[in-house]
Amino acid sequence: MRDTIASRAVAALILAFVTAPLAPAAGQEPSSGASPASALEHYRLQRAPAWRFGLPLALAEISGVAFTDDGRLLAHGDEAAVIWRLDLQRQRAAVRFAFGGGGRAIRGDFEDIVVMGQRIFLLTSAGAVLEGREAPQGHVSPVLRQSRGLRGVCEVEGMTWDPATRSLLLLCKEVRAKRWRGQVVILALSPDSGELESEPRALISEKELQRVTGAKRFNGSALARHPRTGTFLLLAGPQRLYAEVTGDGAVLGGGRLDPSLHRQPEGLAIGPDLTLVISDEAAGGEPTVTGYAFVP
């Protein structure tokens, strides 16, 4: 991606005053004023999960999780582009591979992962997105494409796929622009061109998030689009919070996770069977992955 394109996009982002709403999911009609369907209504996050298991200390700082199209769960840590395939039936970490070159994984501060078909995207805290492919056990897969990052617009921790616009949506944990203070920001990036949209896709009011969570701050750590409702689920790792928002940033609901089950929630994914999966860093204990069943 050329420097001029990236610089213009970031400059426009910093100067943006208005937001562009998220496009509705493919096959969905825009809201006509009726209350949108809620995904959170179908999960019992305050009750015992359907399953939960520990992970090796190599994933002590597990940052992101994502499902492949055929239902396999991938996970990664935050210090290197090493990706694990988790065996949910045997409840263990199985195969691992990496993005890199010369037989070595790329080092960095990796925050989330998205899988779209054969394409795997890794996100850094600076907003750079690396694309690669799945590889056999112990192999290093080359990086096929890499965007330049956000250049200080915000610190990013969450990422999900928006099928309607074929964009990667990036969730800011900390925003540096003063005009966005008091709001949780979602940006959009084209994975093909590496171009960042000039305005945020959504600004979510922290006051509205406080209304549903009871907490004044919401430092976003994970973002996932729910395939059934088209709404977006968010986690805030430091505060152990969760929330659900519409495509235009309206807050539908939220709450607090059980601290005895979730030491530091950093990853979020929705499985093909609609199981909601949360990964937690060790935070002085054991890293874990937890699944909550979808209740019709």
Mean per-residue pLDDT of the chain: 90
**What does the pLDDT read at residue 15?**
41
CATH number given to 3-16+53-292: 2.120.10.30
Q: Give pLDDT tens digits for 266-286.
A: 999 999 999 999 999 999 999
**What does the pLDDT read at residue 35?**
64
Burial of 126 (0-12, 13-18, 19+ CB in 10 A): middle
Query: With bands split at pLDDT 50, 70 and 90, how would you rate the model's confidence at 205?
Result: very high
**What does the pLDDT read at residue 26?**
34
Q: Give pLDDT tens digits for 216-228.
A: 999 999 999 999 9
Is the CB of residue 169 less than 8 Å from the CB of residue 22? yes
Q: What is the DSSP track for 158-225?
A: EEEEETTTTEEEEEEEEE--GGGTTEEEEEEE-TTT-PBPSS-SEEEEHHHHHHHHS-S-----EEEE
Q: Which residue has the higher pLDDT, 151 or 140?
A: 140
Q: Are strands 73-76 and 64-67 parallel, antiparallel or unpaired?
A: antiparallel
**What does the pLDDT read at residue 34?**
57
pLDDT surpassing 70 at residue 151: yes
Q: What's the gap between Cα 272 and its chain centre?
A: 17
Residues 6 or more apart whose Cβ sits within 8 Å of residue 249: 19, 21, 22, 186, 202, 203, 204, 205
What percent of the chain clears pLDDT 70, i.e. is strictly above it?
A: 88
Q: Give pLDDT tens digits for 74-122.
A: 999 999 999 999 999 999 999 999 999 999 999 999 999 999 999 999 9
The domain limits of the chain are: 3-16+53-292
Q: Give pLDDT tens digits for 54-85.
A: 999 999 999 999 999 999 999 999 999 999 99
Buried/exposed 137-157: b ≥16 CB within 10 Å, e otherwise: eeebbebeebbbbbbebbbbb
pLDDT surpassing 60 at residue 8: no
Least confident of 61-70, 134-143, 148-157, 165-174: 148-157
pLDDT surpassing 50 at residue 254: yes
Q: Give pLDDT tens digits for 164-188.
A: 999 999 999 988 878 888 999 999 9
Is the CB of residue 252 less than 8 Å from the CB of residue 40? yes
Residues 6 or more apart whose Cβ sits within 8 Å of residue 294: 42, 43, 228, 273, 274, 275, 276
**What does the pLDDT read at residue 179?**
84
- Residue 82 to residue 84: CA distance in whole angstroms: 7
